[in-house]
Amino acid sequence: MASDARGVVSVHDAILALIPAILALAALAGAVLSWSWGTALAVGSVPASGTVGYALFYNPPAGVGEN
């Protein structure tokens, strides 16, 4: 859920932005290192999956009024 204050990015918003950034960096690294796209995205999916796991299980979003 977005924060009430404008211009403030919550942890969960940052995590949502980080997931495709990790995959884009992996694709870029794969292009530079001449890896196949499948290999590059498989390598990038490991930290991206860890980011999703962190967001869901270690620091889950709270419902409205639970903070």
pTM for the model: 0.76
pLDDT in tens, 13-57: 999 999 999 999 999 999 999 999 999 999 999 999 999 999 999
Q: What is the pLDDT of residue 8?
A: 85
Question: Within a domain: residue 63?
Answer: no
For residue 58, is pLDDT > 80?
yes
Question: Within a domain: residue 1?
Answer: no
Q: What is the pLDDT of residue 67?
A: 56
Q: What is the pLDDT of residue 10?
A: 86
In 10 A of CB 30, how many CB atoms?
Answer: 19
State which residues form the domain around 36.
11-58
Question: Within a domain: residue 18?
Answer: yes
Question: Within a domain: residue 4?
Answer: no
Residue 12 CB contacts under 8 Å (≥ 6 apart), including other chains: 1, 55, 59, 61
Question: Within a domain: residue 16?
Answer: yes
Provide the number of structural domains found in the chain.
1
For residue 2, is pLDDT > 60?
no
Tokens of 59: 């620091």
- Which residue in the block uniquely carries the two structure tokens 């196949």? 36
